[in-house]
Structure 1
Amino acid sequence: MPRLTLTAVALALAAPLAHAAEPGEGVSITMVQPTWDTGWFQTAIYSKLLAELGYTVSEPMTLDNPAFYQAVAFGDVTMWVDGWFPGHNSYRDSFEQGAEIVGAVAKGGALQGYLVDKASAEAFGITSIEDFKRDDVKAAFDRNGDGKADMVGCPPGWACEENIEHHMDAYELRDHVNVINANYSASMADAVAAYGSGEPILFYTWTPNWTVNELKPGKDVVWIQVPFVDLVETEKGLEDAATMTGVEGCVADPCMLGYVANDIVPVVNSEFIAANPAVRALFEAAQIPLTDIYAQNALMNAGDQNIQAHADAWIAGNRELVDGWLETARAAAE
């Protein structure tokens, strides 16, 4: 019988304890983030979770909606975790032949609509976007002297821009409201400064977003209603979902916001997800509370731009939950 050396014995004892290969080892992911920075926090968290599964994850590439949905369908990029549906339904034809929605970062909590500073809403009796057809209201909100109320909207290429443009026609507002389509963060920073100086402000926003942390609905601003629900073509049939109960800071309850609450979801190349069941399992298990996204967005707005550190802190603070997701993912790969 051959003799076992001490080295051989040590190796034999250690073998069962050796760390198994992670499901993503040797696999690369080209990650994308959107042009709105309020989505970069979840991009960083998901990237770090994928790295813990052994995947090599690229620094996120920033793309606008049309470019991403075309690229992910062709496999030029792998994924993002910032799909907004039904808001992004108009891009389905671009991606559904080669990519798919997997899981949800946040379900149903992404509100959209129009807000007015509370003081002006009370002073002028503003409860609806329809009130901006009134001469006294237009004059109060006219900051550039063109005779129209100024409203912060969305940059071209964002789905919300399409919705706002649709509303301008549906509610016959083009002669009454000037939509500012410049850089959203800069435009909102200007609106916040105007509010601080006591000026009336009107703006579109969505949640999660730093705006609702900086200008709190019910305290600083109020959600106003639309005169009736008129959705873009890709959201037809969802009219009932554009009126919601319990919207904090709305002028009415139920609140006819005129926008359907969106799910924030990962959109992943189909070939990749078919070959990586661990990623599917992770994405189907993981979710991030909207309140945590609000809090991180507020940090960014206050000048703390260290998104990677924010993601690390969130993962550390939710380690037990995260480990459960990762174990689910590993089990799916076995």
Structure 2
Amino acid sequence: MLKKLLLATIVASMTLVGSAYAESAQPGKGTKLQPARATWNTGFFQEALVRKGLEELGYKVNKPKDLANPIFYKSVSLGDIDYWTNGWFPMHDAQLPKNFYDKAEKVGYVVKAGGLQGYLVSKKHVDEFGIKSLDDFKRDEVKKAFDKNNDGKADLTACPPGWACEQVIAHHMNVYDLEDHINPVKAAYEAGMAATLAEYKNGEPAFFYTWAPNWTIFKLQPGKDVMWINVPKIMPKEDQMAAKDRMVVSGIEGGVSDPVKLGFVVSDIQIVANKKFLAKNPAAKKFFELFTLPLSDISEQNTLMNEGEKSQKDINRHADEWIAKNQEKWNGWLDAARAAAK
């Protein structure tokens, strides 16, 4: 009888210990999360990785909602969305609703100074026409070479409506008096860049806006295939004034000059989350704080997507492969997140 009682006590103790361990290993158990995701697919990789991390912490993470930037920032401040991994700052500052930081905050750095942006032109034609800046597209022979639709303007593969870069490009067209010389094509970006790449391979001129991380600068390599060009002078939008020093970059590979006046703010890529959500979920907050990716890893994955591996199943596999290659680092992030919840 005594043995039976002792055995029952041991079993009960083991059950309690096991239960406590399970709770500590999965501090998010029982909590549902609603993430959002940017409309540009070059940011899908980090969303998948963060989702997998949160799921290992026990959270049930719903399918992300693909949202335009302004809609996301309003939604996360209202608490309708918990977080996303696609904040670009200070680039997105102009799209934040009033009193945004009362309700939401930036957490950690996915890639610090990872958001490089600017205009690129096919190197062959940079050399042929002596192109150094956007001002060169006011020259008739340059406009004619880059005019795809015979409207008398050079065609620029630009940004779709709703993207922050669309507003900056529109600002450039205005302040540099380029509206009669350059036509920003605002089709879906992936389709536009696919057409630009095909034209480049046929020996035709290429003129496009892009950013890093992105597959574009792997397929069209700065310095070899294309060149970063200048804006005529730094003339920031009002909301860019505080970061105007981050619009000129030195040591950039494939620049027509050194430094290059990009005309876009070099941004930090960051997770943005609702404050109430973070306060209730210290494990998730700690994971956000620690999560970071090398720019080259994102661009490598973006290239795989561009080559056809772009289904959600493919993206999830890319995330699993990255975790396997970086298991020690990954486990360290999860352990620190679990410790933060105790």
Q: Compute the TM-score of the two structures, normalised by the length of structure 1.
A: 0.96
Other-structure match for 2:33: 29
Other-structure match for 1:323: 331
1:295 maps to which of 300, 304, 309: 300
Question: What CA distance in whole angstroms lies between the structure 2 residues aligned with 1:55 and 1:70?
Answer: 24
Quote the sequence identity (%). Answer: 49
Corresponding pairs, count:
334
Map 1:31-180 to 2 at 5 A.
31-94=35-98, 95-180=100-185
Question: What CA distance in whole angstroms lies between the structure 2 residues aligned with 1:73 and 1:109?
Answer: 25
1:214-256 CA-to-partner distances (Å, cap 9, x unmatched) read 1111111010011111112111132221111111111111111
Question: What CA distance in whole angstroms lies between the structure 2 residues aligned with 1:31 and 1:13?
Answer: 36
Other-structure match for 2:318: 310
Other-structure match for 2:232: 227
Q: Which secondary structure does the structure 2 equivalent of 1:23 belong to?
A: coil
Q: For residue 52 of structure 2, what is the amino acid of its counterpart?
A: K
Report the Cα offset of residue 9 of structure 1: 3.5
2:210 maps to which of 189, 202, 205: 205
Question: Runs of 5+ in structure 2 lacking a partner?
Answer: none
Question: What CA distance in whole angstroms lies between the structure 1 residues aligned with 2:33 and 2:18?
Answer: 29
1:38-75 CA-to-partner distances (Å, cap 9, x unmatched) read 00010000000011111110111111112111111111
Q: Compute the TM-score of the two structures, normalised by the length of structure 2.
A: 0.94
More helix by share: 2
Other-structure match for 2:22: 20
Alignment check: 8 A CA contact 2:70 2:96 kept: no
1:263-315 CA-to-partner distances (Å, cap 9, x unmatched) read 11111011101111111111111101110000000000000121111111111
Question: What CA distance in whole angstroms lies between the structure 2 residues aligned with 1:67 and 1:31?
Answer: 13
Question: What CA distance in whole angstroms lies between the structure 1 residues aligned with 2:167 and 2:205?
Answer: 25
Q: Which secondary structure does the structure 1 equivalent of 2:161 belong to?
A: coil
Question: What CA distance in whole angstroms lies between the structure 1 residues aligned with 2:66 and 2:131?
Answer: 38
Q: For residue 221 of structure 2, what is the amino acid of its counterpart?
A: K
Question: What CA distance in whole angstroms lies between the structure 1 residues aligned with 2:59 and 2:324?
Answer: 20
Question: What CA distance in whole angstroms lies between the structure 2 residues aligned with 1:14 and 1:271?
Answer: 33
Q: Which secondary structure does the structure 2 equivalent of 1:97 belong to?
A: helix
Alignment check: 8 A CA contact 2:74 2:97 kept: no
1:195 aligned onto 2:200: yes
Q: For residue 83 of structure 2, what is the amino acid of its counterpart?
A: M
Question: What CA distance in whole angstroms lies between the structure 2 residues aligned with 1:63 and 1:170?
Answer: 30
Report the Cα offset of residue 20 of structure 1: 3.2
Structure 1 stretch 15-24 or stretch 68-77: which is displaced more?
Answer: 15-24
Q: Which secondary structure does the structure 2 equivalent of 1:88 belong to?
A: helix
Q: For residue 241 of structure 1, what is the amino acid of its counterpart?
A: R
Q: Which secondary structure does the structure 2 equivalent of 1:93 belong to?
A: coil
Question: Runs of 5+ in structure 1 lacking a partner?
Answer: none
1:144-171 CA-to-partner distances (Å, cap 9, x unmatched) read 0001000011001000000000111111
1:91-130 CA-to-partner distances (Å, cap 9, x unmatched) read 2335323211111111112100000000000000001111
